[in-house]
């Protein structure tokens, strides 16, 4: 749903039934983009630019595509566990765009920089082989899986442009690209995965020398394939095609792994493969010494 032209009522608070204009959507997108690029944060969007529905949030988010020199790499799903939904105060999953400029290859070294979430999230990701176009009826799980080309281990490194992303609500989080930031895609699984019960598949997240956590696909809406189906239907409802070649990452199946500069992080999916990344060490700040 795109923003439409409608005058907002006077007063400090925007009425719930009011719809953001195209100009307001663009201004909200501009502000969030500026914060993202500069590594800064805001408490929340200004009242007159603040989306109040999921549809308005997606309308603001969609303007990100104009910022990229490439087609959208794919899609992410946030809040795919009940614990995650409770943590950020939403009642269901949220979809976000993966920009190609923010996608790294397996084994890469990333900068944490101003990232204030500082977590890595092991995720099941699917590459789409056949487009899933918008339609009136919902897609079934079998229909969505038939459109999948491959399964990949992946790591998402999320971040938010809000001081406290747990209190701004679903519409503003969607506008902020569902906390998308950096993404690393591992190699396609060579083991047969289509006949597996992915909800029971164990995934291990490792921060070398510091932390080891396990989770399963059940932490992702009960099954990562169910999360993928949710994404297809969410975008269909919005009139958006999941294009062939795009990647959908389905949300963390392990409790987020705290990371710091210098850490190496691995997501081990057993015989379905693994993917690892490192975080660049921060250089010490050297004070200049003036000579008399």
- Residue whose C-alpha is closest to residue 52's, from 214, 173, 212: 173
Q: How far apart are CA 232 and CA 134, in angstroms?
A: 9
Question: Residue 86 has what pLDDT?
Answer: 87
SS3 147: coil
Cα 237 off chain centre by: 19
Question: Residue 82 has what pLDDT?
Answer: 83
Residue 11: CB partners within 8 Å, gap ≥ 6? Answer: none
Question: Residue 18 has what pLDDT?
Answer: 64
Question: Residue 10 has what pLDDT?
Answer: 35
Question: Residue 17 has what pLDDT?
Answer: 53
Phi and psi of 61, rounded to 5°?
Answer: -60, -40
Low-confidence residues of the chain, pLDDT below 50?
1-2, 4-16, 287-292
Pair 150, 130: CB distance under 8 Å: no
* Positive or negative: CA dihedral 248, 38, 112, 216: negative
Q: What is the pTM of this model?
A: 0.91
Q: Which CATH superfamily is domain 70-279 in?
A: Fumarylacetoacetase-like, C-terminal domain (3.90.850.10)
- Residue whose C-alpha is closest to residue 215's, from 122, 286, 140: 122
């Amino acid at each position: 749903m795109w923003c439409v032209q409608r005058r907002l009522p006077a007063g400090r608070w925007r009425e719930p039934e009011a719809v953001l204009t195209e100009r307001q959507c663009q201004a909200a997108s501009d502000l969030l983009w500026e914060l993202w690029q500069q590594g800064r944060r805001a408490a929340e969007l200004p009242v007159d630019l603040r989306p109040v529905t999921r549809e308005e949030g997606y309308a603001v988010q969609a303007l990100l595509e104009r910022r990229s020199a490439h087609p959208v790499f794919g899609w992410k799903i946030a809040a795919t566990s009940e614990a995650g939904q409770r943590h950020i105060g939403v009642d269901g999953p949220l979809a976000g765009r993966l920009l190609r400029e923010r996608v790294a290859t397996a084994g890469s070294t990333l900068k944490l920089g101003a990232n204030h979430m500082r977590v890595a999230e092991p995720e099941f990701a699917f590459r789409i082989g056949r487009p899933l176009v918008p339609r009136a009826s919902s897609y079934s799980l079998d229909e969505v899986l038939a459109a999948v080309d491959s399964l990949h281990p992946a790591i998402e490194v999320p971040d938010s442009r809000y001081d406290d992303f747990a209190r701004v609500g679903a519409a503003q989080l969607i506008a902020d690209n569902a906390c998308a930031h950096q993404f690393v895609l591992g190699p396609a699984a060579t083991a047969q995965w289509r006949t597996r019960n992915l909800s029971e598949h164990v995934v291990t997240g490792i921060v070398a020398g510091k932390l080891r956590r396990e989770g399963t696909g059940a932490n992702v809406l009960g099954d990562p394939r169910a999360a993928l189906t949710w994404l297809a239907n969410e975008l269909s409802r919005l009139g958006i095609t999941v294009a062939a070649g795009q990647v959908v990452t389905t949300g963390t199946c392990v409790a987020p792994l705290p990371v710091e500069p210098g850490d190496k992080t691995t997501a081990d999916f057993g015989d379905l493969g693994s993917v690892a990344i490192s975080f660049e060490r921060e250089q010490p700040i050297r004070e200049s010494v003036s000579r008399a």
